[in-house]
Chain A
């Protein structure tokens, strides 16, 4: 596998996808901060990579009141608590083939902290390989990290812009299940308030479920050539918008497109279907 897209910065070059073996070799590297981010709240406390900190997306990354992410002050406090500096490389990993870790990485990037990467395969692969786990929670020496203002422009998109792009015939990737895409399935039966009032997809969207980009056995990303084939209908220089239900699964696809395939203008619509499917008057397509 050759995911070698790298960016250079002051300290070390940043490869955006690292292997479990690479992480194992760098467990004691002071420039590296390991962060586990899961959907399942029981996983980190039950065992994690030695030295890894937990970043919980509900408690740490979300605004407690509004539907939005944390503000600059809270991000700064989080980074200080992690002991991060501008030169820290944040290595994210987690459950579900890193879908939540990719979401956390995407939120960190809103604040311009691009010295970050994913550990390919996430915690499942680390555990399968029999690598060490611990329940000991590390205590970092708090840093003096100064966060940049949050900038949503580059990698996030809001509903007004989405609607303008629909009118202009822009391209979208819907990473939900085919049943959600077609409108056959809105949400889980019996829980109408958990989904959207209308089913279907954004006009012009192509269905490419997020997990298509991963190897189901290992949870690792597929090889570059396979990813290129999966996303062949979208060109690296095109504007591409990805979405799912709340923006978490689409963060995984955003990562694959931006950092494994080098797409320059890919944005995550985190309002996703829970917003779009409830918008009054918004155009919708159904069927596969």
Chain B
């Protein structure tokens, strides 16, 4: 796991109040920068199970990965927040660091009050980054 991701985990651990956590996530969603890639996107880059229609691309140089995200649902705010977290915290990460991300890290950010579909979609974003970095 990267130091930046750990910082996010520490930040959210310090926010036991749901309203504060939500506000922090909204601010993160505003920082999301969509991938600038031609459409239509390659379906192989689509996060399976994500209703917000998220696409992920990864590239690596010298074993250091960077990721780009596109959230096609204009109201997919949680997906945008998650994309912002992953984009910044996995910038320059190694495959081992990415593999070490726990799948359920999303609950540390969003809490347990997520629908099944939303959980699957957000976890799918983490899984997709892992899958790309292991390929």
Contact = CB atoms under 8 A, between A and B. Distances in A.
Given A40-B78, A188-B48, A46 B119 contact: no
B75 interface: yes
A45 B22 contact: yes
Given A42-B22, A96-B51, A187-B120, A123 B114 contact: no
Contacts of B19: 45
Chain B facing A: main interface SS: helix
Given A43-B77, A194-B120, A248 B113 contact: no
Contacts, number: 67
A274 B119 CA distance: 15
Given A40-B77, A40-B78, A189-B48, A58 B115 contact: yes
B114 A41 contact: yes
B113 A59 contact: yes
A93 to B, nearest CB: 12
B92 interface: no
B25 to A, nearest CB: 6
Interface string A21-55: 00000000000000000011111011000000000
Contact of B77 (A42, A187, A188, A245): A42
Interface string B80-111: 01000000000000000000000000000010
A130 interface: no
Interface range for B: 20 to 34
Contacts of A96: 51
B116 A56 contact: no
A136 B110 CA distance: 22
A246 interface: yes
Nearest to B77: A42
Contacts of A46: 26, 29, 77
Contacts of B76: 40
A186 to B, nearest CB: 11
A190 B119 CA distance: 13
B23 A45 contact: yes
B26 A42 contact: yes
Contact of B49 (A42, A187, A248, A274): A187
B16 interface: no
Contact of A41 (B52, B75, B78, B116): B78
Contacts of B118: 39-41
B123 interface: yes
Nearest to B124: A188
Given A42-B22, A42-B25, A191 B115 contact: no
Contacts of A191: 49, 120, 123
A41 B22 contact: yes
Residue of B23, B29, B48, B115 most packed against chain A (CB within 10 A) = B115
4 tightest Cβ-Cβ pairs between the two chains A and B: A188-B49, A42-B77, A58-B113, A188-B120
30 contacts: A39-B117, A40-B78, A40-B118, A41-B22, A41-B110, A41-B114, A41-B118, A42-B22, A42-B25, A42-B29, A42-B77, A42-B78, A43-B77, A45-B22, A45-B23, A45-B26, A46-B26, A46-B29, A56-B113, A58-B113, A123-B75, A127-B75, A187-B120, A188-B48, A191-B49, A191-B123, A194-B119, A194-B120, A245-B117, A248-B115
Interface of A: 39-43, 45-46, 56-59, 95-96, 123-124, 127, 187-191, 194, 245-246, 248, 274
Interface of B: 19, 22-23, 25-26, 29, 48-49, 51-52, 74-78, 81, 110, 113-120, 123-124, 127
